[in-house]
Structure 1
């Protein structure tokens, strides 16, 4: 087997050398390779994340890309790094993209997302502020800033940003779902219920919307309805700590101490401070 592999490798090398001996064929190979890198970097056809990173890196290292194209490559690679939870690398790439194209708003917003995922919420808000300043009609930046405010416990600010995100983009599931959660926390339960129902009519597998609607039911004293929605959320995301904890509280209210305690313990194994979150929401 080793010999056959060596022969195939040798033949392949010879074929490449023959092709490269023709200037036209060499140019065609280079063109095809460049197009492949562009496709990888753009994430065409659901390219795996590592392949996207490689494709963008080839383009960035080629020295052939113009500043605007180079900014896109850095932005795309930054997005891939976010998906692989390499947030510092992502931020460095977004910094490069912004430096190359100062009016390019996407990397400004995406840098905020990287800070948000990293847990640097003040920096995330600053990035989203900058994105909104560049493009006041950028609904996604408002929705993202609202998510940062939620993490900071600034619920009134989050609600206002979700309002603006929905005004700018009425089809934003993230904004409707986020506003439902925010309204549930603030106690605006009827309006929050309408928001969640709208999300779930469009997407019956939205775990966040089920989780939010369950919190509304819990605050309204409807333990059975809360459990149903928490079950639906956990069917989609089995390790959603807030759904496990909320379901535990609902079970306790129904007198199911064993089941309730089990859910609370499981939730705390995933997220140790989830109980503190519910205390802030006014549910214990």
Structure 2
């Protein structure tokens, strides 16, 4: 039976509303602009939504703005989401990620603290706070947070390598090696993990293995300064002065402070 004209008119706004919910939620891998438009339509029709629903719409729009690199707009949406529902943990974590990307590490840490306080089992927030501690060169606290993240969500991207890197810098080399191997065995083959394991081998004096791992890292990311510098150091220690100096000069051209970083890592 065909719907009456009035019924058809009533159905159309409902269809649009449901489609906006899908787009705002990121279904079908919608593009950021489409997500922003859909979330905005829901927010503008706020009288039809609960405060909790509006909080989700603002959080989702914030994620879409962040995907476009508009972190200030994203943060405003995360702030509004939190105002609407102060017990909703996601916007705290997402606000932390936005501040982290803006290199405002103190505010990022505060946001992750709040997310963890609301939900002590929020593995992603622990992993994100660990990244803040890495940027602050507080490797012991980074390890503690990675411990929690791995306990809660061991399949999170980057957690095994993050703990490997932190432990390698602290000198817990066997534990670090286990973490890097775990990351590589799990299929997380990326430049950072090879770079981390290269540092371990550099510290243990396994120079050939260090060069191999740094070379693997550079195949994936040819401009990874730490891998270039580490490989250069390993080559120098093997007696390859020309190759070592070439790699180290290339690393310094990419990142002038890389030598100071390695001194802090305990390698010279």
Q: Is the 8 A contact 1:199 1:206 kept in 2?
A: no
Is the contact made by 1:173 and 1:199 (CA closer than 8 Å) also made in structure 2? no
Q: How many angstroms does 1:275 deviate by? A: 2.6
In structure 1, the partner of 2:132 is 148
Residue 95 of structure 1 is matched in structure 2 by 79
Which residue number in structure 1 is paired with residue 176 of structure 2?
192
Q: Does 1:211 align with 2:195?
A: yes
1:104 match: secondary structure? coil
The aligned runs of 1:79-228 (5 Å cut-off) are 79-228=63-212
Tell me the secondary structure at the aligned position of residue 197 of structure 2. Answer: helix
Q: Cα distance, 1:58 vs. partner?
A: 2.4
Equivalent-residue separation in structure 2 for 1:65 and 1:260 (angstroms): 63
**Deviation readout 1:154-178 (Å, 9 max, x if unpaired):** 1111111111222222333422221
- 4+ residue runs over 4 A deviation: none
3-state DSSP of counterpart to 1:161 = helix
Structure 1 residue 30 and structure 2 residue 13: aligned? yes
1:62 counterpart residue number: 45
* Cα distance change on mapping 1:169 and 1:182 into 2, 3 Å: same
CA distance in 2, matches of 1:52, 1:162: 32
Q: Hey, what's the Cα distance between the residues in 2 that align with 1:239 and 1:62?
A: 48
Q: Given the superposition, is the C-alpha separation of residues 268 and 52 from structure 1 closer, same or farther in structure 2, using an over 3 Å criterion?
A: farther
Indicate the residue corresponding to 2:62 in structure 1. 78
More displaced stretch, 50-59 vs 126-135: 50-59
Q: How far, CA to CA, are the matches of 1:237 and 1:54 in structure 2?
A: 36
Taking structure 1 as the reference length, the TM-score comes to 0.84
Are residues 1:263 and 2:243 paired?
Answer: no
Q: Which runs of 5+ in 1 are unaligned?
A: 1-21
Match of 2:30 in 1: 47
Unaligned runs of at least 5 residues, structure 2: none
Greater C-alpha radius of gyration: 1
The total of aligned residue pairs comes to 264
- Pairwise mapping of residues 232-251 of structure 1 onto structure 2 (< 5 A)? 232-251=216-235
Determine whether 1:277 maps to 2:261. yes
Q: In the TM superposition, what is the alpha-carbon distance from 1:193 to its structure 2 partner?
A: 0.1
CA contact (8 A) 2:183 2:189 kept: no
TM-score computed with the length of structure 2 as normaliser: 0.89
Residue deviations 1:11-67, cap 9 Å, x none? Answer: xxxxxxxxxxx4433333323322332222222222222322232222222333321
Question: 1:258: Cα distance to partner?
Answer: 4.1
Alpha-carbon offset, residue 145 of structure 1: 1.1
